[in-house]
Amino acid sequence: MDPIVAIVLILGLAKVFGELLERGGYPPMIGEIAAGILVGPAVLGLVTMNETLELFSTIGVIALLFISGVEMNARAFAAARNAAALTAVTGIVVPFVLGIVGGALLGLSAVEQLFLATVLSITSIGVSVRTLIDLKMLNSMVGNTIVGAAVVDDVIGVILLGILSSIALSGQLELAPLTATLVLAVLFTVFALTAGRRLFLWAFRTSHRMLTHEMPYVAAIVIALGTAAVADAVGLHYAIGAFVAGLVLGPQIRNDRSVFDGLADFAFGFFVTFFFASIGLLFHPDPAVFVSVLVPALILLAITGKTAGGYIGSRPYMGDRLQALMVGFGLSPRGEIALVVAQVSLSTGIITRGLYSGVTVMVIATILAVPLLMKWGFAARKKREEAVKGGRPAAESQ
Give residues in contact with a second copy (CB under 8 A): 2-5, 7-8, 11-12, 15, 18-19, 22-23, 28, 51-52, 55, 58-59, 62, 210-215, 217-218, 221-222, 225-226, 228-229, 232-233, 238, 258, 261-262, 264-266, 268-270
What's the closest the beta carbon of residue 69 comes to a second copy, in angstroms? 17
Three-class secondary structure assignment of 347-388: HCCCCCHHHHHHHHHHHHHHHHHHHHHHHHHHHHHHHHHHHH
Name residues whose C-beta falls within 8 Å of residue 184's C-beta, 6 or more positions apart in sequence: 234, 235, 236
Task: Spell 224-251 as b/e; 16+ CB within 10 A means b.
Answer: bbbbbebbbebbbbbbbbbbbbbbbbbe
Task: Spell 256-287 as b/e; 16+ CB within 10 A means b.
Answer: beebbebbbebbbeebbbbbbbbbbbbbbbee
User: Which residue lies nearer to a second copy by CB, 77 or 238?
Assistant: 238
What's the closest the beta carbon of residue 228 comes to a second copy, in angstroms? 6
User: Which residue lies nearer to a second copy by CB, 184 or 322?
Assistant: 184
Q: Which amino acid is at 214?
A: E
CB 191 within 8 A of CB 129: no
User: Which residue lies nearer to a second copy by CB, 191 or 270?
Assistant: 270
What's the closest the beta carbon of residue 35 comes to a second copy, in angstroms? 13
Sign of CA dihedral 107, 111, 113, 115: negative
What's the closest the beta carbon of residue 219 comes to a second copy, in angstroms? 8
User: Which residue lies nearer to a second copy by CB, 175 or 233?
Assistant: 233
User: Which residue lies nearer to a second copy by CB, 108 or 272?
Assistant: 272
User: Which residue lies nearer to a second copy by CB, 25 or 349?
Assistant: 25
* Dihedral angle, C-alpha 148, 153, 156, 160, nearest 10 °: -170
User: Which residue lies nearer to a second copy by CB, 32 or 112?
Assistant: 32
What's the closest the beta carbon of residue 34 comes to a second copy, in angstroms? 15
User: Which residue lies nearer to a second copy by CB, 83 or 223?
Assistant: 223
Q: Which amino acid is at 69?
A: G
What's the closest the beta carbon of residue 215 comes to a second copy, in angstroms? 7
CB 277 within 8 A of CB 32: yes
CB 112 within 8 A of CB 350: yes
What's the closest the beta carbon of residue 158 comes to a second copy, in angstroms? 17
CB atoms within 10 A of CB 182: 16
What's the closest the beta carbon of residue 217 comes to a second copy, in angstroms? 4
What's the closest the beta carbon of residue 321 comes to a second copy, in angstroms? 33
Separation between Cα atoms, residue 165 and residue 347, nearest integer Å? 13
What distances in angstroms separate CA 49 from CA 91, 231, 282, 353, 393, one per listed residue? 31, 24, 7, 19, 45
User: Which residue lies nearer to a second copy by CB, 60 or 377?
Assistant: 60
Nearest CA to 5 out of 205, 377, 13 is that of: 13
CB 77 within 8 A of CB 150: no
